[in-house]
Chains A and B, each alone.
Chain A
Amino acid sequence: MSVSKINMAALVRSSFGLFKNSILNTAIRSLSTSKPLNIKEIREHKEGTKLVVEAVSLPSPRKDLLVRADNIDLPSSNCEHESSVKEPCYMCALGLDVKHTDVLILSQFVRSDGCMLPRRITGLCRRQQKKIGKMVSMAQKAGLMINLTPAWCKKDPKKRKDYKKFNTYFDEKTIFWKRIPDQNDKWKR
């Protein structure tokens, strides 16, 4: 029973994929299903005595460099969502084993002062947001993203105080601690 269900699901998905592909392939590539992403920049300039502040919409500089799992047929995305209905977020779908030393990836999720972007902007799932946030702070503590720090910070990790000036590395396994069930809590087990 379950096997047939899975098969059906796979069939439906593949047929849908074919359908989507057929549309997309015939269409021009620049046309996308979602709106083309824009980004705002605040510009200030003076016209005579007036100070004009305007927000200009610009195309995102990251558009051409985006990597999405839909475009690559990954063998299996190791997403940990229980319900297959829920769409995995783009980071889950890629299935990358990101470590805190992968600063090129982590630096995409931070502002120029090294702050982690909130979830409504990153668009990650809860779990990934937590994970990436922790890894960003790990990379900051290890001094790997030292140029993405507030201006008052020392820009050389060796000049930091006390124990902070020595090299530190982190274990990504410590981000999610496994919950140890309480022995006395018999109702929840």
Chain B
Amino acid sequence: MSAFKRVQQWATFARTWHVFDCKWQDPYDSAQVIKKYLMGLHKPIYHPTNDCGDVVVCINSRDIALRGDEWRKRAYFHHTGYPGGASWTLAWELHNKDPTMIIRKAIYRSMKGNLQRRHTMERLFIFPGEDVPQDIMQNVTNQIRQLRLVPTRLDHIPEEEVQKYPKVMDYPQDYVLK
């Protein structure tokens, strides 16, 4: 193999580091996207036996959003192995204890349960907030697009803009403004 070809191969199989902002993202939907990057399914050179998965850094995992009433309806099961060792933790309780756990479990479960899965998970970093160690952040060269738009709170929009925004409803004539 010539030197050029060797470099070519290094380039093709180079590992990219991606960052994903979990703010207001559904962890179960975004797991389907992150999984692709972790396993290398986003590359046209993908093969199950070649090691082409990328590294993903998830930030702001504390600010994930769950749909509807899932915070109090979704339960995570754990069994210690002893009789009576079963326990169910609600999603919000789990998120209180470890704000990275829900997204980690979502990604883990989105992948097929083979021997590769745990090694693939090693390439995933999750941080509850914005502050990421410098040695991790300096590798990041790409950002994964979010699925949902981060909604804007009404009190974060400037007052004049709210006033100026076109209206659809008008008050009736004898309405007493409150």
Contact = CB atoms under 8 A, between A and B. Distances in A.
Interface of A: 35, 37-42, 55, 57, 60, 62-63, 65-67, 90-91, 94, 96, 101, 103-105, 107-109, 111-113, 120-124, 142-148, 155, 162-163, 166-171, 174
Nearest to A103: B154
Given A62-B170, A107-B154, A42 B176 contact: yes
Given A62-B170, A121-B175, A166-B65, 14 more contacts: A37-B171, A39-B173, A39-B175, A42-B176, A101-B151, A103-B153, A103-B154, A104-B162, A124-B169, A144-B151, A144-B152, A144-B153, A145-B154, A167-B64
A171 B68 contact: yes
B95 interface: yes
Contacts of B168: 66-67, 90-91, 94, 96, 105, 108
A40 B68 contact: no
A96 B54 CA distance: 40
25 contacts: A35-B173, A37-B170, A37-B172, A39-B177, A40-B174, A62-B170, A91-B168, A96-B168, A103-B153, A103-B157, A108-B168, A108-B169, A111-B178, A112-B178, A121-B175, A123-B172, A124-B169, A142-B65, A162-B72, A166-B92, A167-B24, A168-B66, A171-B67, A171-B68, A174-B68
B101 interface: no
Contacts of A143: 153
B165 interface: yes
B79 interface: no
B45 to A, nearest CB: 36
A142 B171 contact: no
A169 B67 contact: yes
A167 B26 CA distance: 10
Contacts of B162: 104, 107
B167 A67 contact: yes
Contacts of A124: 169
A150 to B, nearest CB: 12
B169 A148 contact: no
Interface string B44-80: 0000000000000000000111111011100000000
Most buried by A among B63, B72, B148, B153: B153
A122 B90 CA distance: 40
Contact of A65 (B64, B166, B176, B178): B166
B153 A170 contact: no
Contacts of A38: 173-174
Given A55-B176, A90-B168, A169-B24, A163 B90 contact: yes
